[in-house]
Structures are given as C-alpha cells and as structure tokens.
Amino acid sequence: MIIRRIHAENILRYKLLEMSDLPSHGRIFIAGPNESGKSAILETMCLAIFGRTSNLTNAMAGKAVRWGADSASVSLDFIGPDQNEYSIFRYFDADGVQRARLNGQDQETPLAQGVEEVNQAVVKVIGFDFQQFTSALYLTHGRHSHARPGETVKELAGVTALETLSGNLATEINATEAMIAARSRRQVEFTEQINILNIQEELLGKLENQRDHARQQVAMTASTIERWEGFDAGLVHAAKSIESAIQRLKKTSQEIGLASWLSRSNQLDAALKEVESICLGGYVEMETTPADSLRQWHSQLQGRLTALQNILEGVNDEQNRLLAWLGQPTNQPTPPAEESYATEAGRLEHTLTQSIRRRRRQGWAMRTFLFLAFVLWAVTGVVWQHQQNPTFLPVVTDLLAQHLPMWHLSQFMVILPAASFCTLIVFWNFIGRWRMQRKIGVTKASQKQLAQQADYAQSMVAAIYNAANQSLAHQVEILNAMEATPWGADLSSWVNEEGRPFLDEESLHHYLAGLDTQLSHFQSENTLYRDEAKVQRLAAVEENRVHQENVAALVKEVESEKARRQENVRLHAAIEIIVADNARDRRDMEMRRIARELLKGTCVELSSRFNQELHLFISRTAPLFTQGRYQHLRMDSDLNVEVFSVAKNDFVQVEELSTGVRRQLTLALRMSLAQALASRTGGAHFIALDEPFAYFDHQRCRESLDALSRISDKISQLFVIAQEFHNEIITSKLYIQCTGEQDRLILTAGH
C-alpha cells in the first residue's frame, strides 16, 4: 500500500491538511517540537485508512474532529498491493455520526459504503488490519516501551488463526463438557425420578382388573335398580289388571254362560300370570307373589269351571256323536265310531227284504217238493201193494206192462229213496221258512227300536242345542234334567259340589263376595312387595353410588398409573437419548481434542518455520540497528520473542533489555515483520515511524536510517517523524517542518 495523496479538513489540530503527489519510493521526513502536529499527520493517515487511531477506537473517531468544528473529513488516495488505485473518504462529526466510502479506479461506483463495510473492504484490499498495521507498519510514538510484537509475529506466521481455531475448539469442548455434565445431572435426576416412580409391572393390570370389576358392579347394581324399578312398575300395572279383572268378575251374574265365565277367569289368570312373571323371574327371583292367595282362589274357580267345561265337552261330544249318527252336520269332525242311523236302518231294511224273498222261495220249494213227495209216496204205496197183490189193481199192471215193460221189482227200491228225499226237502224248507219268518219279525222289531233311538237322539240334540244358548245355570239345569245321559253322573256331582255357587243368585253373590277379601289382601300384599322393592332399589342405588365412586377412584388411579408409566417411559427414553448424546458428544470432544493436538503441532511447526525465516531476516536487520550486539531473534515455546545477546552468548527476553536496545530491536523486528507482511500481501508498502530514534544519538540515527533504506525494496515509502533531523540526514526533498502554530499544512511533492 503506497499513499499517493491525503486531504483532511478539521481533523485533529489541522483545519486543512493537504499532501499530494507523494512518491512511491523514498523517505518523507516530518520534524517539529512536541505538540507541533507531527504525529497528527500519521494519525490522520491512520484515521483515513482504518477509521481509528491507536488512541481513538472506531466508536470514538468523532473525537478526531478539530476543536471548534462541527465535522471533519479526510480522503486518502493509495495504490494497493494489486497495483490498483483506491480512494478512501471518511466523514466524522462531533455527535459521533460517521460516513465512509471506498472507491476504486472507477471513481463513480464505490466499492463499499458505510463505516463497517468500508472497514472490511479496506482490510481485504490492503491485506492487513489495524492491529497488523500498528504492529508491523506503524510505529506510534510512546508505544516502544510496551510494544509486544509477539501477537503480530503470531498473526503473520499464521499461528494466531490456528490458535483462534484451537481456542474455538477448546471453547466448543468446554461447552460440550458443560453440556455433558448438565445432561449427566439430568440423567441422575431422571434416574432418581424413575426410582421415585418405582413402577411395578403388575400394578396397572391389577388396577385395571379392579376398575373393570367395579364397573361390572356398577352395571350389576344399575341392572338391579332397573329390575326393582321394573318390578315396581310391573306390580302397579299388574295390580290395575287384577283390579280390572276382579271388577269384571264381580259384575258376573247368573245369566252369563260358561264362555263368559271362562273369559273373565282367563282375564284374571292373565293378570295373575303378569304378577307371577314379575315376581318369579321376570325382574326378581322370589318364592312368593302378592297374589298367591288370589291365585288359590282363582285356581279353585278355574277348577270349578274346568270341571264343568270338561263335562260340557263330553256333552258336546255326545251331541256330535248323535248328530253324526243321525247323519247331520256336527260342530266338529267326529270320527265314525259307530254305524250311523241311516246305515243301520238301511242294513235292517236290506235284511228284511232278503228275509222276505228267501221265505217266499222256501215256500215255493216246500210246496213243490211236498207235491212230489206225495206223488212218490203214493206211487210207492201202489207199487208196494201191487207187489203184494199183483191183482190189486190190474190197471196198474197194465200200465206197467204197457209203458214200462222193463219194470222190475228191483226198480221199486229207487222210487222209495226219491220219495224220502223229497220228504226231507220239504221238511228242510219248512224249517228254513220258519226261521226266516222269525228273522223278519226280529228285523222289524229292530227297525222300530232304531226309529225310537233316532227320535230320542233328535230330542237330545235339540235339548243340548237349547241348553247351549242358555246361561250357565240354565244350561246345567237342562242338561242335568236329561235322563240316561253319559254326563249325568259327572254333572250331578258337579252340581252338588263345585258348581253349587253358580246355580243360584244368592250362592253366586256369596261366592263373588270372597273376591273383595282377596282383592284387599292382594292390595295390602302388593303394597308390602312394593315397599320391599323400594327398599331394595334404594339399597341398590346406594350400592351403585359406592361402586361408581370406587370406579371413579380406580379410573383416576389407572390414569395416574398410566401417566406414571408414560413418565417412566419418557424418562427412560430421555436417559437413552442422554446416554446416546453424551456418547456422541464425548466422541466429538475426543475428535476436537485430536484436532487441537494437530493444530498445536501445526502451530509449533508453523512457528518453527516462521522462526527460521524471521531468524534469517532478523539476523540481517538486528545487527544493523544494534551495531552487531544482538543478532538473532526467536520465539520460545510460548511464542514469546527472545533475542540472542552476543555479550551474554545466550537468548534473553526482549523485556529484559534496556529501553534503547528494545527500541532498536523493535525497529529491527518491525522491519522484518513489515517484510513478512509485504511478502504475504504482495506489492510495495509504506511504513510510518513516529520518533523511532528518540533515544538514538546522531550516529545511530543516521546508521539506522541508512539501514532502513537498505533492508527491503518492498518497504519503499517511509514516513519518519523526529523532533529534528540533521541536515546531513535530510536527503529527501519531502521534509515537513511542523511548528505547532499553523492549522493548515499543504504539501505537494516537488514544491
């Protein structure tokens, strides 16, 4: 970096500072007494380049405004290491407002604007920052005694960067260690929490079983409540049914038939069954019902009616049998148990007809054979007489001789059996005809009896029909009055025993009056049962409440246990994560420690290399500034700078040397570092030395200046400040004399 021009207004003590056409090579001398403004020139340059000075940080740069002025500005033109021209402009005011701009060769478009951006851009362009500038290229007045070039050496050697990185890694390791420690503490906490949780594997299942059992108890008791409520409501309804049935029964009169009796009885039976259904398993299991007494009464009634019904069914069967016998339509199909009247009558008629015909035929046969027998017996008699006395009848003899010439007495033996046969036939037919005659008589008697039976059956049927349309009492009376009936004995027995209450009004009234007692008894029993139901329901309600509370408590316990388990799982998972994270971070730490070891080794190597290079260059410059008394410079293991003393024949710390020697060595070191800096950035550089020879005598000052000129071509522009320079030293035309009274300084090279 070579400064070509500087223009400042109201900076430090100068109202106007103008230095232009500055040469790229050569020395620029600035001389003057104390407080004359020498250092202000270099500080103005420093302010222009970095926006700060050794005494004023960037934030304090506003204090560089000249006393009495509101604002200040400075612009500086320079040639960068890349041989391009640049221009920096900075503005400050007393209130701390700053503006900055960096222009390249293209002056119209700034490379950077704004203080921060310009500061960064400047470092990038010139290749070094303020620290490196003050360590290598800018020796400020008053900093010699405490100048510590070690940091700059490290920076130039590249060690600082590696150390910074190593420091960053150390910070990261520390942070990771802290993190691991924190995690380990959390792990301990989590483990303690797990121990406190003390999860028992079987507990949740046990609690869930208890909860489920309690829920079943709730359901059971709810069912019990429901059953008792249903029981109570059922009893209320059944009681109404019973009352209605009883009222209907009580209205029963003598005038109704068995069907009405049965209908009313069945209504009461249905009501009683409703009660029994409610009490005996429909809702609850009981051994008795409130209608047991009424059931007995009704069973008795039902028994009476059933007995009559059975008798009447027998009557009905008889009626149907008679109707079937008579050949008339029946109330219900009746199996042909016997021969019908028509068939029997037909059969008798047929028998009678056949008998008459047979008698007639037998009559004819008897008469015919009677005639034959008479003839034969007459012939036989004649023949027998003729044989006894052939002259008995000559006529016969003549006839025989005429018509039966073959007649012989032996033939007489044939006629006699024939006559006997005919006689036997006649006798047989006589017997048969007598039998037929008798059969005809019997048949006719049967026909008469059958007709009588039919008449009787017709009358029976008519009577049964008539009775069926009567009231129960009249029906019974009619049927009972009938003689020689199949049901007679049963009905008579029923009338005298079970049926007694139904047969007259007074008995019926007396019988039905028992219903009031039964109803009253049922109602009182029903009230007792309902009271019991109420007690049972209340007990079930209370039990249900207790079970519900138990369920609620168990549900809470189960949820709590689940939450505890979830917490346990979470804690275990967290511990696993912690263990995994710690293992990962420990490995990461180990890796970073290795990285630091490698960096440390590299730093040592880098220092060694830089040391060798610095040693080489110091060996050239230190003797020039120390008249050969100190020759070598090196960095120790802590990167502190040591110098080899010829007198002591050993390396000594820079801080152990006298102020003058330290200044000389510092100057030598700075020149070497400036070289190093120039080597790194490339290009030519200026160097600014503020009273570097303050304690030098004239001879040493002259030799040092000569040495400065010989050290390197890269340090081509040299600004040197002193209180005064001997004339023989001032070889350059660029000599600025500051008096302290002027507030304007204008310098143009060559003028």
Interface with other proteins by CB under 8 A: which residues?
123-124, 127-128, 155-162, 164-165, 168-169, 587, 590-592, 594-595, 598-599, 601-602, 605-606, 609-610, 612-613, 616-617, 672, 675-676, 678-680, 712
User: Which residues make Cβ contacts (< 8 Å) with residue 28, sequence separation at least 6?
Assistant: 22, 717, 718, 719, 720, 732, 734, 735, 736
Cα–chain-centroid distance for residue 608?
A: 69
**Secondary structure percentages of the chain, helix, strand, coil, to 5:** 65, 10, 20
Minimum separation from the CB atom of position 11 to other proteins (A): 28
Q: What is the CA radius of gyration of the chain?
A: 79
- Which of residues 100 and 159 has its CB atom nearest to other proteins in the complex? 159
Cα–chain-centroid distance for residue 354?
A: 103
| Residues 611-641: b if buried by 16+ CB within 10 A, e if exposed | bebbbebbebbbbbbbeebbbbbbbeeebeb
- Which of residues 586 and 698 has its CB atom nearest to other proteins in the complex? 586
Minimum separation from the CB atom of position 582 to other proteins (A): 17
- Which of residues 429 and 582 has its CB atom nearest to other proteins in the complex? 582
- Which of residues 319 and 582 has its CB atom nearest to other proteins in the complex? 582
Rounded CA-CA distance 657/616 in Å is 21
Minimum separation from the CB atom of position 605 to other proteins (A): 5
- Which of residues 123 and 749 has its CB atom nearest to other proteins in the complex? 123
CA distances from 656 to 59, 311, 624, 673 (A): 36, 153, 20, 21
Minimum separation from the CB atom of position 597 to other proteins (A): 8
Q: Is the dihedral of CA 54, 55, 57, 58 positive or negative?
A: negative
- Which of residues 128 and 494 has its CB atom nearest to other proteins in the complex? 128
CB 654 within 8 A of CB 665: yes
Minimum separation from the CB atom of position 748 to other proteins (A): 34
CA geometry: angle 114, 118, 124, nearest 5 deg: 160
Rounded CA-CA distance 6/27 in Å is 16
Rounded CA-CA distance 292/298 in Å is 10
- Which of residues 123 and 694 has its CB atom nearest to other proteins in the complex? 123
Rounded CA-CA distance 31/201 in Å is 93
- Which of residues 322 and 673 has its CB atom nearest to other proteins in the complex? 673
Minimum separation from the CB atom of position 52 to other proteins (A): 18
- Which of residues 239 and 599 has its CB atom nearest to other proteins in the complex? 599
Paired with 285 in beta bridges are: 280
Minimum separation from the CB atom of position 165 to other proteins (A): 5
φ, ψ (nearest 5 deg) of residue 691: 50, 60
Paired with 644 in beta bridges are: 632, 651
Task: Give residue 93's region: left, alpha or beta (phi > 0; psi -120 to 50).
Answer: beta
Minimum separation from the CB atom of position 624 to other proteins (A): 15
CB 390 within 8 A of CB 409: no
- Which of residues 27 and 592 has its CB atom nearest to other proteins in the complex? 592
Minimum separation from the CB atom of position 28 to other proteins (A): 24
Rounded CA-CA distance 108/709 in Å is 38
Minimum separation from the CB atom of position 601 to other proteins (A): 6
| Residues 168-198: b if buried by 16+ CB within 10 A, e if exposed | ebeebbeebeeebeebeeebeebeeebeeee
Minimum separation from the CB atom of position 101 to other proteins (A): 21
Angle between the 505-626 and 149-157 helix axes, to the nearest 10 degrees?
A: 110
3-state SS, 376-425, equals HHHHHHHHHHHHHCCCCCHHHHHHHHHHCCCCCHHHHHHHHHHHHHHHHH
Minimum separation from the CB atom of position 66 to other proteins (A): 34
Minimum separation from the CB atom of position 610 to other proteins (A): 7
Minimum separation from the CB atom of position 120 to other proteins (A): 8
Burial class (CB in 10 A: 0-12, 13-18, 19+), 751: exposed
- Which of residues 10 and 621 has its CB atom nearest to other proteins in the complex? 621
Paired with 78 in beta bridges are: 3, 86
Minimum separation from the CB atom of position 592 to other proteins (A): 7
- Which of residues 272 and 603 has its CB atom nearest to other proteins in the complex? 603
- Which of residues 298 and 670 has its CB atom nearest to other proteins in the complex? 670
- Distance between start and end Cα atoms, the chain: 24
CA nearest neighbour of 53 among 65, 40, 43, 62? 43
- Which of residues 11 and 137 has its CB atom nearest to other proteins in the complex? 137
φ, ψ (nearest 5 deg) of residue 644: -85, 120
- Which of residues 319 and 607 has its CB atom nearest to other proteins in the complex? 607
